[in-house]
Protein backbone atom coordinates (compact mmCIF):
# COMPACT_ATOMS: atom_id res chain seq x y z
CA UNK A 1 0.00 0.00 0.00
CA UNK A 2 1.03 3.62 -0.37
CA UNK A 3 2.17 5.74 2.57
CA UNK A 4 -1.09 7.69 2.28
CA UNK A 5 -3.13 4.50 2.60
CA UNK A 6 -0.97 3.27 5.48
CA UNK A 7 -1.63 6.45 7.48
CA UNK A 8 -5.32 6.66 6.59
CA UNK A 9 -5.95 3.05 7.67
CA UNK A 10 -3.93 3.37 10.88
CA UNK A 11 -1.17 0.95 9.86
CA UNK A 12 1.38 3.75 10.34
CA UNK A 13 0.76 6.18 13.20
CA UNK A 14 1.09 9.47 11.32
CA UNK A 15 2.47 11.27 8.29
CA UNK A 16 5.85 12.00 9.87
CA UNK A 17 6.62 8.34 10.54
CA UNK A 18 5.38 7.48 7.03
CA UNK A 19 7.65 10.17 5.55
CA UNK A 20 10.74 8.64 7.16
CA UNK A 21 9.73 5.11 6.16
CA UNK A 22 9.42 6.27 2.53
CA UNK A 23 12.63 8.34 2.73
CA UNK A 24 14.54 5.39 4.18
CA UNK A 25 13.26 3.04 1.49
CA UNK A 26 14.36 5.50 -1.20
CA UNK A 27 17.78 5.99 0.40
CA UNK A 28 18.52 2.27 0.81
CA UNK A 29 17.44 1.39 -2.72
CA UNK A 30 19.43 4.28 -4.20
CA UNK A 31 22.65 3.18 -2.49
CA UNK A 32 22.27 -0.34 -3.85
CA UNK A 33 20.03 -2.41 -1.55
CA UNK A 34 17.87 -4.69 -3.68
CA UNK A 35 14.14 -4.06 -3.03
CA UNK A 36 13.46 -7.79 -2.73
CA UNK A 37 15.99 -7.96 0.12
CA UNK A 38 14.52 -5.02 2.02
CA UNK A 39 11.50 -5.00 4.34
CA UNK A 40 9.97 -2.82 7.05
CA UNK A 41 8.86 -4.49 10.27
CA UNK A 42 6.61 -2.75 12.79
CA UNK A 43 7.43 -3.23 16.46
CA UNK A 44 4.79 -5.04 18.47
CA UNK A 45 3.36 -3.10 21.45
CA UNK A 46 5.49 -5.09 23.91
CA UNK A 47 8.65 -4.32 21.91
CA UNK A 48 8.28 -0.55 21.83
CA UNK A 49 9.77 1.76 24.43
CA UNK A 50 7.20 3.02 26.92
CA UNK A 51 7.24 6.50 25.35
CA UNK A 52 6.92 5.35 21.71
CA UNK A 53 3.58 5.27 19.93
CA UNK A 54 4.92 3.63 16.75
CA UNK A 55 8.25 2.16 15.65
CA UNK A 56 9.47 0.59 12.40
CA UNK A 57 12.71 -1.19 11.53
CA UNK A 58 14.16 -1.33 8.04
CA UNK A 59 15.61 -4.83 7.78
CA UNK A 60 18.01 -6.01 5.08
CA UNK A 61 18.40 -9.68 4.17
CA UNK A 62 22.03 -10.77 4.56
CA UNK A 63 23.30 -13.98 3.06
CA UNK A 64 25.26 -14.62 6.24
CA UNK A 65 23.17 -13.13 9.05
CA UNK A 66 19.58 -13.34 7.79
CA UNK A 67 17.31 -10.33 8.29
CA UNK A 68 19.33 -7.56 9.95
CA UNK A 69 17.88 -4.43 11.54
CA UNK A 70 19.56 -1.55 9.73
CA UNK A 71 17.42 1.53 10.40
CA UNK A 72 15.02 2.24 13.27
CA UNK A 73 12.26 4.86 13.02
CA UNK A 74 10.41 5.69 16.24
CA UNK A 75 7.69 8.18 17.14
CA UNK A 76 8.75 9.23 20.65
CA UNK A 77 5.65 11.45 21.08
CA UNK A 78 6.21 14.50 23.33
CA UNK A 79 8.23 12.51 25.88
CA UNK A 80 11.61 14.11 25.16
CA UNK A 81 10.59 17.77 25.20
CA UNK A 82 8.23 17.29 28.13
CA UNK A 83 11.07 15.68 30.11
CA UNK A 84 13.47 18.50 29.15
CA UNK A 85 10.87 21.09 30.14
CA UNK A 86 10.20 19.44 33.50
CA UNK A 87 13.91 19.15 34.29
CA UNK A 88 14.91 22.64 33.15
CA UNK A 89 11.84 24.54 34.23
CA UNK A 90 11.64 26.00 30.72
CA UNK A 91 8.60 24.93 28.68
CA UNK A 92 9.64 23.30 25.40
CA UNK A 93 6.56 24.46 23.52
CA UNK A 94 5.67 26.22 20.31
CA UNK A 95 2.71 28.57 19.96
CA UNK A 96 0.32 27.51 17.20
CA UNK A 97 -1.96 30.34 16.11
CA UNK A 98 -5.50 29.47 15.06
CA UNK A 99 -6.79 30.60 11.68
CA UNK A 100 -9.62 32.35 13.53
CA UNK A 101 -9.72 33.32 17.25
CA UNK A 102 -11.99 31.17 19.41
CA UNK A 103 -14.35 32.38 22.16
CA UNK A 104 -13.91 29.92 25.01
CA UNK A 105 -15.99 30.02 28.22
CA UNK A 106 -14.07 29.54 31.44
CA UNK A 107 -14.71 29.67 35.14
CA UNK A 108 -12.06 31.58 37.08
CA UNK A 109 -11.54 31.43 40.85
CA UNK A 110 -10.17 34.64 42.35
CA UNK A 111 -8.83 34.18 45.91
CA UNK A 112 -9.07 36.85 48.59
CA UNK A 113 -5.35 37.39 48.82
CA UNK A 114 -5.49 39.86 51.69
CA UNK A 115 -6.95 37.24 54.00
CA UNK A 116 -5.40 34.07 52.63
CA UNK A 117 -1.97 35.67 52.34
CA UNK A 118 -1.89 36.55 56.04
CA UNK A 119 -3.37 33.19 57.05
CA UNK A 120 -1.01 30.92 55.08
CA UNK A 121 2.07 33.17 54.67
CA UNK A 122 4.82 30.93 53.23
CA UNK A 123 2.26 28.58 51.69
CA UNK A 124 0.17 31.40 50.25
CA UNK A 125 1.49 31.06 46.69
CA UNK A 126 0.86 27.31 46.64
CA UNK A 127 -2.61 27.84 48.12
CA UNK A 128 -3.48 30.40 45.42
CA UNK A 129 -2.31 28.06 42.62
CA UNK A 130 -4.21 25.07 44.03
CA UNK A 131 -7.35 27.15 44.53
CA UNK A 132 -7.30 28.42 40.93
CA UNK A 133 -7.30 24.81 39.71
CA UNK A 134 -9.93 23.59 42.19
CA UNK A 135 -13.59 22.77 41.58
CA UNK A 136 -15.59 24.89 44.05
CA UNK A 137 -18.92 24.01 45.63
CA UNK A 138 -21.44 26.13 47.60
CA UNK A 139 -19.64 25.07 50.79
CA UNK A 140 -16.23 26.18 49.54
CA UNK A 141 -13.25 24.40 47.96
CA UNK A 142 -11.02 21.60 49.19
CA UNK A 143 -7.41 21.76 48.05
CA UNK A 144 -4.21 19.85 48.75
CA UNK A 145 -0.93 21.63 49.45
CA UNK A 146 2.22 19.70 50.35
CA UNK A 147 0.13 16.67 51.26
CA UNK A 148 -2.17 18.67 53.56
CA UNK A 149 -5.90 18.98 52.82
CA UNK A 150 -7.12 22.55 53.26
CA UNK A 151 -10.72 23.74 53.18
CA UNK A 152 -11.24 27.27 51.84
CA UNK A 153 -14.63 28.81 52.83
CA UNK A 154 -16.71 30.31 50.00
CA UNK A 155 -16.38 33.85 51.36
CA UNK A 156 -12.60 33.79 50.75
CA UNK A 157 -12.80 33.50 46.98
CA UNK A 158 -14.91 34.71 44.08
CA UNK A 159 -16.07 32.62 41.14
CA UNK A 160 -16.34 34.39 37.79
CA UNK A 161 -17.70 32.98 34.52
CA UNK A 162 -15.90 34.65 31.63
CA UNK A 163 -15.51 34.42 27.87
CA UNK A 164 -11.88 34.23 26.77
CA UNK A 165 -10.66 35.09 23.29
CA UNK A 166 -8.11 32.36 22.50
CA UNK A 167 -5.86 33.04 19.49
CA UNK A 168 -3.85 29.82 19.65
CA UNK A 169 -2.31 27.27 21.96
CA UNK A 170 1.06 26.10 23.18
CA UNK A 171 1.98 22.68 21.84
CA UNK A 172 4.78 20.35 22.94
CA UNK A 173 6.17 19.02 19.63
CA UNK A 174 6.58 15.30 19.09
CA UNK A 175 9.98 13.89 18.16
CA UNK A 176 10.51 11.37 15.35
CA UNK A 177 13.79 9.49 15.80
CA UNK A 178 15.24 7.90 12.67
CA UNK A 179 18.39 5.99 13.66
CA UNK A 180 20.61 4.85 10.79
CA UNK A 181 23.17 2.07 11.29
CA UNK A 182 25.82 3.35 8.89
CA UNK A 183 28.16 0.38 9.38
CA UNK A 184 25.32 -2.07 8.68
CA UNK A 185 24.27 -0.10 5.61
CA UNK A 186 27.84 -0.18 4.29
CA UNK A 187 28.13 -3.93 4.93
CA UNK A 188 24.80 -4.63 3.22
CA UNK A 189 25.80 -2.58 0.17
CA UNK A 190 29.14 -4.38 -0.14
CA UNK A 191 27.60 -7.82 0.36
CA UNK A 192 24.89 -7.24 -2.24
CA UNK A 193 27.26 -5.57 -4.71
CA UNK A 194 29.79 -8.43 -4.74
CA UNK A 195 29.47 -10.64 -7.78
CA UNK A 196 31.44 -13.02 -9.97
CA UNK A 197 30.98 -13.73 -13.66
CA UNK A 198 33.06 -14.87 -16.61
CA UNK A 199 35.01 -12.57 -18.92
CA UNK A 200 37.39 -13.80 -21.64
CA UNK A 201 37.20 -17.30 -20.21
CA UNK A 202 38.23 -16.19 -16.72
CA UNK A 203 36.34 -15.55 -13.52
CA UNK A 204 35.77 -11.83 -13.08
CA UNK A 205 35.24 -10.39 -9.60
CA UNK A 206 33.07 -7.29 -9.80
CA UNK A 207 31.54 -4.94 -7.24
CA UNK A 208 28.27 -3.75 -8.76
CA UNK A 209 28.12 -0.55 -6.74
CA UNK A 210 25.64 2.15 -7.61
CA UNK A 211 27.44 4.89 -9.59
CA UNK A 212 26.18 7.41 -7.02
CA UNK A 213 28.20 5.84 -4.19
CA UNK A 214 31.13 4.27 -6.05
CA UNK A 215 34.44 5.64 -4.67
CA UNK A 216 35.63 5.96 -8.28
CA UNK A 217 32.89 6.80 -10.76
CA UNK A 218 34.97 6.73 -13.92
CA UNK A 219 38.50 5.50 -14.69
CA UNK A 220 40.56 7.05 -17.47
CA UNK A 221 43.16 4.90 -19.28
CA UNK A 222 45.67 5.91 -21.93
CA UNK A 223 46.22 2.90 -24.19
CA UNK A 224 49.93 3.74 -24.13
CA UNK A 225 51.94 6.20 -22.06
CA UNK A 226 53.42 7.84 -25.14
CA UNK A 227 52.48 9.81 -28.23
CA UNK A 228 50.49 12.23 -26.06
CA UNK A 229 47.86 9.60 -25.21
CA UNK A 230 48.73 9.97 -21.53
CA UNK A 231 48.54 13.77 -21.85
CA UNK A 232 45.04 13.60 -23.34
CA UNK A 233 43.94 11.11 -20.66
CA UNK A 234 45.28 13.41 -17.94
CA UNK A 235 43.34 16.37 -19.35
CA UNK A 236 40.13 14.31 -19.47
CA UNK A 237 40.65 13.27 -15.84
CA UNK A 238 41.07 16.89 -14.74
CA UNK A 239 37.94 17.87 -16.69
CA UNK A 240 35.97 15.24 -14.76
CA UNK A 241 37.33 16.56 -11.47
CA UNK A 242 36.20 20.09 -12.35
CA UNK A 243 32.72 18.70 -13.07
CA UNK A 244 32.51 17.05 -9.65
CA UNK A 245 32.89 13.51 -11.01
CA UNK A 246 35.14 11.11 -9.07
CA UNK A 247 37.69 10.13 -11.72
CA UNK A 248 40.91 8.14 -11.48
CA UNK A 249 43.78 8.11 -13.98
CA UNK A 250 45.44 4.69 -14.42
CA UNK A 251 48.22 3.80 -16.82
CA UNK A 252 49.68 0.80 -14.99
CA UNK A 253 49.75 -2.56 -16.78
CA UNK A 254 47.84 -4.01 -19.69
CA UNK A 255 44.47 -2.46 -20.52
CA UNK A 256 42.63 -5.68 -19.63
CA UNK A 257 44.24 -5.76 -16.19
CA UNK A 258 43.24 -2.17 -15.61
CA UNK A 259 39.62 -3.00 -16.47
CA UNK A 260 39.65 -5.90 -13.98
CA UNK A 261 41.22 -3.75 -11.27
CA UNK A 262 38.48 -1.13 -11.64
CA UNK A 263 35.77 -3.81 -11.78
CA UNK A 264 36.97 -5.16 -8.43
CA UNK A 265 36.60 -1.78 -6.70
CA UNK A 266 33.22 -1.09 -8.30
CA UNK A 267 34.10 1.63 -10.84
CA UNK A 268 31.02 1.73 -13.09
CA UNK A 269 32.56 3.38 -16.18
CA UNK A 270 35.94 3.50 -17.88
CA UNK A 271 37.39 5.71 -20.62
CA UNK A 272 40.15 4.50 -22.93
CA UNK A 273 42.22 6.99 -24.93
CA UNK A 274 43.70 5.33 -28.03
CA UNK A 275 45.28 6.35 -31.31
CA UNK A 276 41.87 6.95 -32.92
CA UNK A 277 41.36 9.64 -30.29
CA UNK A 278 44.06 11.74 -31.88
CA UNK A 279 42.34 11.44 -35.26
CA UNK A 280 38.65 12.01 -34.41
CA UNK A 281 38.63 13.30 -30.81
CA UNK A 282 36.57 10.34 -29.60
CA UNK A 283 37.27 7.83 -26.82
CA UNK A 284 35.93 4.44 -25.80
CA UNK A 285 33.38 4.48 -22.96
CA UNK A 286 33.00 1.08 -21.24
CA UNK A 287 30.20 -0.08 -18.94
CA UNK A 288 31.26 -2.21 -15.94
CA UNK A 289 28.17 -4.40 -15.68
CA UNK A 290 27.68 -5.33 -19.35
CA UNK A 291 31.30 -4.78 -20.44
CA UNK A 292 29.90 -3.18 -23.60
CA UNK A 293 31.69 -0.24 -25.20
CA UNK A 294 30.79 2.78 -27.29
CA UNK A 295 32.75 5.59 -28.95
CA UNK A 296 31.89 9.06 -27.71
CA UNK A 297 33.30 12.55 -28.43
CA UNK A 298 35.58 13.96 -25.75
CA UNK A 299 33.46 17.12 -25.58
CA UNK A 300 30.41 15.10 -24.47
CA UNK A 301 32.18 13.15 -21.73
CA UNK A 302 31.35 15.28 -18.62
CA UNK A 303 27.69 15.63 -19.62
CA UNK A 304 27.26 11.96 -20.54
CA UNK A 305 29.12 10.43 -17.61
CA UNK A 306 27.43 12.88 -15.22
CA UNK A 307 24.01 11.76 -16.48
CA UNK A 308 25.01 8.09 -16.19
CA UNK A 309 26.16 8.63 -12.59
CA UNK A 310 22.98 10.40 -11.50
CA UNK A 311 20.84 7.82 -13.32
CA UNK A 312 19.01 10.16 -15.69
CA UNK A 313 20.20 7.99 -18.62
CA UNK A 314 21.35 4.38 -18.89
CA UNK A 315 24.28 2.93 -20.79
CA UNK A 316 21.86 0.81 -22.82
CA UNK A 317 20.19 3.97 -24.09
CA UNK A 318 23.53 5.12 -25.54
CA UNK A 319 23.74 1.95 -27.63
CA UNK A 320 20.44 2.54 -29.40
Give me the tens of pLDDT residue by residue for the chain, a chain 320 residues long.
Answer: 899 999 999 999 999 999 999 999 999 999 999 999 999 999 999 999 899 999 999 999 999 999 999 999 999 999 999 999 999 999 999 999 999 999 989 888 888 888 888 888 888 888 888 888 888 888 888 888 888 889 988 888 888 888 989 999 999 999 999 999 999 999 999 999 999 999 888 999 999 999 999 999 999 999 999 999 999 999 999 999 999 999 999 999 999 999 999 999 999 999 999 999 999 999 999 999 999 999 999 999 999 999 999 999 999 999 98
b (16+ CB within 10 A) / e for 178-217: beebeebbebbbebbbeeeeeeeeeeeebbbbbbeebebb
C-alpha 128/C-alpha 145 separation (Å) is: 10
Residues forming a β-bridge with 149: 144
Query: CA 309, 310, 314: angle at the middle one, nearest 5?
Result: 70
- Give 56's strand partners: 42, 73
Return the domain boundaries, the chain.
3-79+174-180, 94-169, 200-319
Q: Is the CB of residue 248 less than 8 Å from the CB of residue 267?
A: yes
This model's pTM is above 0.95: no
Domain spanning 200-319: which superfamily?
A: Anticodon-binding domain (3.40.50.800)
Amino acid sequence: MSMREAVDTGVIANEYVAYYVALTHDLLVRIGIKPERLRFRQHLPDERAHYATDCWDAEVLSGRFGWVETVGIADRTDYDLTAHGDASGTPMTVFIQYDEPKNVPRRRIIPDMSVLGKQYRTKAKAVFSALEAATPSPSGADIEVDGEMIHIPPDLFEVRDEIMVVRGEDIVPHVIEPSYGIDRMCYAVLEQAYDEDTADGETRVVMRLSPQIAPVQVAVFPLMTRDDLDTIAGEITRTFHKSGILAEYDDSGAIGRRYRRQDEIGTPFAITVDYDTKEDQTVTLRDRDTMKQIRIPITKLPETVGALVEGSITFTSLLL
